[in-house]
Structures are given as structure tokens and as C-alpha cells.
Chains A and B, each alone.
Chain A
């Protein structure tokens, strides 16, 4: 589930408020959005991709909050790690043209 909106990284663009399909975030005037409906989070990690400043952290646990701590996530280099693995930058898509999945599908005997 969504765990952290980093106030040090966030630029209050509110893109996460707009793109979350589960309406998890709430915009706050002049400040970082807050996680207003954590329980509605579907743990899809897509908000991390759309965040232009890698300010969001989603924990893989889909059942409930785990109280992730920002300092630890920062130290582990996990802010933005999914976007980097995908090739998305500053909230914009990238990397699909380099997707090597055709190797995997061929290894499975498909195509």
C-alpha cells in the first residue's frame, strides 16, 4: 500500500491526486498531498511512475499498512526504484521500446 509522500521530495504538483484510480490522496493547499484513504490503495505502484520527483513509496504489502519509515526507504535507495527499472523519467513514460520480454516469451515456447 501507499506508505509515504516525502515532503522533502514533493513539489505539490498533485499529479498523484489526479492519477490514482482509487482516489487515495487528497490535495492540501500549499503543501504536499496527504494519504487520505490508505485502505483504498490497490498497491499498483503506478503513482510512483507518474510522480515527477520520486516522492512516493508504495510497500508491496497489499493487506494493510506497514509503517514504512522515510529515512530507511531513502537510505535503501527505494524512492523511484520502480520508475528507474521501467525507464520512466520525471513522471513520463520511457523504456517500452527496450523491453526484452520477447526473449522470455520465446523461452516459454510462445512466438
Chain B
């Protein structure tokens, strides 16, 4: 089916950013093909969760929100870029309303667009994408980009069910493959192995802010449900029942510190019966784990743990050159969690809300830019003889090394130069010592590429973390606790076997024109 296909714009990925990109490229009258490792509708970090998209109703309020957000970004965000993200995302939500997405009405009878039930949203986006004439290939993981004369012009991969190889030539490619959670057991993790980072870096793309992966979500013990919202109302306590005092730090830090001394429990206190009912009706997946375990979390305490959210709720990814969502490689565009988000979130997590806005905005920008690029290329790409690039494949055992070096709180959440160096040595050893020695056939090829992508992402992250000799946002260096004003710029990484670390001092942070 996809043995040797041709399209104008190829979108790799199946979450919000990918579907928005596909819709915008199709709206620009380009032929669009979307390939996803999973299933468009359930793929990605967003689909299982439910998000309140960061939103402000008017442009004036968006400017204020962008300035406020940039002010607490630890010096890395760009208020102008953030403002335009909010503008573009609001336009996307308006479009969803125009398409009759079933938004609720608030108690004043007005359509309420900032909240998206993501299972419904992604089901809806799948229908829109197909109605727009986009060719959708589920369970068709991309493994390699195709490059000709330094220009990205397609991708190749395998079909899961048949294990048959596929390749497709395209005038432009959008990577919207999501982030990387390093094998952590969180919802969405199946797709989030950093595949897009690896493919982009192999083509020569630069990544940025990869050190900011020290983001963890609180989950009921052993569950994968990293729904943060409800912990607004949580009281945290120790085994002996004593309350862990909230000293105004973020909740994850509070819990991370306490977990070093023993088990931590939570209970949702002070939630009125009315709010409990609204949570039950509006966010059933928050209460699902409790209902199935026979716990009333408003009355009974329950044990909690922290799960790593990597670049999904962290920051890093493929560096964007500007709001066209172009990367450093011609023909290659990036969107959503696959793209570095520091221009909006700075050195802290974007959480669900800003990240949802980011996925809509960058998806739309990338789709439009890729369509424009494809229009300029015309039909020339159809006869281009490109070659699939990228040969990094690791044995599945490498994933165990990645999990051991990235997931523990005392390696990634709290860092020291020594621990980072030790972890990086382990990861480098896995990179060279666990290479797949032969060409792996069938579906094992996917697993070998996933292992390579996760290990590469871990190496980039700790290489960047070692270069940032300070603490800033979710990069917490116990041996360098202060924030150094001289390091208020993004750190970039590139390269596969040899990693080059640089500073993005060319980034000029613009103040908003008032």
C-alpha cells in the first residue's frame, strides 16, 4: 500500500499537533499523508487525559497572560512567541467550535472552549483529518527519514501487522511524534520513545533545552494516572499520619523531598460535595483508579509516587528556528512535544494547559509552513533519489539502562555533577556496547530503533545537564543550587555518536511591544 508512495506533506505522529498539522496542510490544498506508530485517536500523551487548554478570551488578556508566564520562565521564554502561541491556539479552538465539536455550555449558557475531553477531541480530530482527504496510516511507525542533498524528502518504516517495509517520498515532512518518557509507566508512554528526536538529529537537526526533563507527576501508587489537577486539594502525609508542611514550593518538590525519607500518602481534603460531584462527572479518569481499588480519596489516605514525565511535561525537543516551525534541516518541520518548548515555558513545565495550546499552535504553524515549502518544491521531489538515513539500533537491554539512569529521583529530579557524569558513562557504554550487531528483521527493527531513540535522548539530556552548571527551573543541581544570570540562555545539543553541546546565544528574547 505504502510500498513506494508519493505525497506533498508527510506528517509523522498521531496526536493533537500531528492532526492539526495535517489539517492545515490539507487546507492549503496539498496532498497529505499521516503515518503514526499507534492509532490516530488514542495515540500520544493527550488522548487518555483531558486537558484545560491555556486560554484567555481577548488579545489584550493574552498579552497579559504571556507576560506573566514569561516572567516566571527563569529567563528562557519569549513573551512575544508565547503571545502568538495563545493567539493561534485560540483560533484553533474557535475552529473546533465552528466544526461543531461538542463543547459544553457554561452556567451562563455560553460555549466553553478551553476544556477538551481529549478522548473525544482526538476521536473528533481523526474524523476531521479523514474528511479532509488526508491519507491516514495507523500502526505504521516511521523508522528513518529520507534525505537527498541535505533536504528531507520522505520517510521509511514498517507496518506493524505485516512487518512489511514502507517508504514514502514527500516534499516536506512534519515530525510530531511526541516527547520521550524514557520507559516510564505513564499514560501515552507506548508512543513516547523519542523516535522523532533521533530521526531529526540523524538528519542534522539541533535539539534544545534537553536538560529540562526533571519533571515528575504525582500518581496514586503504581498507577499510570498522572492527572495533576486534583492535587490542588491534596494534603500530603507521612506513614505516621503527620502532615507534610506545604512551604509554598511546587507539589512535586514537596513530595520528592518527603519520598527520600519514606512512603508518602495523600488525601483530597476540603473538596465540597458539589466539587466532588463535578470532578466525578467532568474528570472520571481521575477517580477511576480509586473506584477500582475501593478507596474513597476524599476520606481515606492513599500512597502516592512520582513518575517521570520526561520531555512530555518537561521542556526539550527539536529546536525551532522560528514560528514557521522549521528546524535546522530544510524540508523538516517539528510540532508539539517533539519541538522544544522553552520559548513558551522557559525552564519549567508547561503542564497540561500551555502544552495543549502549544500543540495546537505549533501543529497549525508546521502544517502551513510544510505546505508552503511543498508548494515551492513543486513536483521536483517526486523524481528525487533520496536515501534513508540513520543506522542507530540498540538491543532492548539498553532500555533497562535508560530507566535505571533517568527515572530515579536521586539521578534526574535531584542532580549533581558526579551523578550526572556517572549516569552518562553508563548510557554511553550502553550506546556503544549494546548495538544491534545485525540488521534486525520485522517488528524487532522498531524496538531496536526505539531503544536507540530513548538512549540517545537520555544522553542528550544529561550532556546538556552537565553543561548547565547551575540550578534553573526543573533542572535542580544540588551541588550548584543558585541560578546564574550568565546562563540565562538555551543549551543546544546535536550529533549522534559524538554529542556536540552549544549555547543558543543567538536567541534574542524580545519584550512585548506595548
Contacts and interface: CB of A to CB of B under 8 A. Distances in A.
Contact of A60 (B106, B138, B288): B288
Interface string A43-73: 1111101100000000111110000000000
Interface string B80-122: 0000000000000000000001111111000010110101110
Contacts of A93: 102, 119-120, 123-124
Nearest to A24: B190
Interface residues on B, range: 35 or more
A25 to B, nearest CB: 12
Given A21-B42, A46-B119, A104 B139 contact: no
A82 B285 contact: yes
A111 B167 CA distance: 46
A100 B187 contact: no
Contacts of B188: 42, 44
Contacts, number: 156
A104 B220 CA distance: 20
Contacts of B50: 101
B52 interface: yes
A28 interface: no
A60 B220 contact: yes
Nearest to B49: A44
A45 B185 contact: no
Contacts of A98: 104, 281
B42 A60 contact: no
Contacts of B14: 21
A101 B38 contact: no
A108 interface: yes
B223 interface: yes
A102 B119 CA distance: 17
Interface string A10-49: 0000000011111100000000000000001011111101
A100 B285 CA distance: 14
Interface of A: 18-23, 40, 42-47, 49-50, 59-63, 78, 81-82, 85-86, 88, 93, 95-105, 107-108, 110-111
